[in-house]
Amino acid sequence: MPMVTYLQAINQAMQEEMARDENVMLMGEDVGAMGGAFKVSEGLIERFGKLRIVDTPISESLIIGAGVGLAVLGMRPILEMQFIDFIACGFDQIVNQAATLRYRHGGQASCPIVIRGPGGAGVHGGLYHSQNPESWFFSVPGLKLVAPATAYDAKGLMKSAIRDDDPVLYFEHKFLYRRIKEEIPDEEFLVPIGKAALRSEGTDVTVITYGATVHSAVGAARDLAGEISVEVVDLRTLLPLDWGMIRASVRKTGKALIVHEARLTGGIGAEIAARIAEELFEDLDGPVMRLGSRDTHNAFAAPMEAFILPDKLKITEAIRKLARY
């Protein structure tokens, strides 16, 4: 099996789905002739042409609004946000139009769009190119949210997202684009939306995480082997959550630490912590703990960015603290 980067896996998934279904298309800023700001769509316009790989003006509300209209008419558009931070410019189109469309039409219409783009920090992107906006959409019925951490999942989840009949927000972490590489099968495969993955098995502490922090958590679990047995749950899908895997793991270890790169206050970890406290209180052997970015804007300077973000050392310290209870 060939070694494939996280970025190449996304490209492969889009190519395969466009070849499989002529209704799949890609729209966004510089996705055609330039191949995308990070080259995620490189080679697509040469293979599928300008009618299916569409360069758009710099207007996220236009990209998403046009995508919703195309979806209603039977297309399956992939809509790229050049940086996921600017998804805020299309917030109304996502929350008030795409997410509600099926409900407004009594289930007789669907909105099969994928809104994808690079998010996350660790690359010194500063204020407007480092955010993790997934929690903005976490409470919106009608949306599905995915955040792959591996190249295999990046491909499998993208293929599933494209085939899904509801709007899917696909958060790809730019730090992982060329840093993560793994063997991916040549034969077709899908990763189901709504199913978490167990990255490390343990009995003392459960770490629940997603995206780039999965790798930091697995590294922390490896470093603590022989001292603390750490189980790492990679959510993969944020909405809907795989509550079954979360519940089973927390019941096994009795201790839960939720880690994400997004800011701590109001993050997805808060909802997971609340639900664990409500439903699994009698299974707990310590407080439900959270670790996220500090509640501040992302810094450009490398030392400040490192101070703000969670990392392997901070995760290791949090695991040790929880294990002491």
Is position 189 within any domain? Answer: no
CATH number, position 218: 3.40.50.920
Question: Cβ contacts of residue 159 below 8 Å, gap of 6+?
Answer: 13, 16, 17, 188, 189, 190, 191
pLDDT of residue 1: 77
Q: What are phi and psi of 76, to 5 degrees?
A: -130, 80
Strand arrangement of the beta sheet that strand 237-239 belongs to: 53-55, 24-28, 76-80, 114-119, 168-173, 144-146, 237-239
How many domains, the chain?
A: 2
Where are the extended beta strands (E) located within 122-174?
144-146, 168-173
List per-block mean pLDDT (blocks of 10 residues) for the chain, which spans 325 residues.
93 98 98 96 97 97 98 97 97 98 95 98 94 97 98 98 98 97 95 98 98 98 97 98 98 98 97 98 97 96 97 98 96
Rounded to whole angstroms, the Cα distance separating 34 from 38 reads: 9
Torsion angle (degrees, nearest 10) of CA 204, 147, 273, 287 = 30
Domain extent at residue 283: 197-323
Do the beta carbons of residue 312 and residue 214 sit within 8 Å? Answer: no
Is 192 contained in some domain? no
What is the DSSP pairing of strand 168-173 with strand 181-183?
unpaired
Tell whether 220 and 317 lie within a shared domain.
yes
Q: Determine the pLDDT at residue 65.
A: 97
**Residue after which a domain boundary falls, among 143, 161, 183:** 183
**Rounded distance between C-alpha atoms, residue 31 and residue 10, angstroms:** 13
Is 190 inside any structural domain?
no
Tell me: do 269 and 319 sit in the same domain.
yes
* Unique residue bearing structure tokens 């494209």: 162
Catalytic residues: 129
CA distance 262 to 308: 10
pLDDT in tens, 11-36: 999 999 999 999 999 999 999 999 99
Residue 311: inside a domain: yes
Sorted by sequence, the CB contacts under 8 Å of residue 248 that are 6+ apart come out as none
User: Do 243 and 203 belong to one domain?
Assistant: yes
- For residue 172, the model assigns a pLDDT of 98
**Does residue 210 sit in the same domain as residue 157?**
no
State whether 224 and 294 are in the same domain.
Answer: yes
- Residue 2: what pLDDT? 79
- On whether both 174 and 264 belong to a single domain, the answer is no
- 93 and 220 part of one domain: no
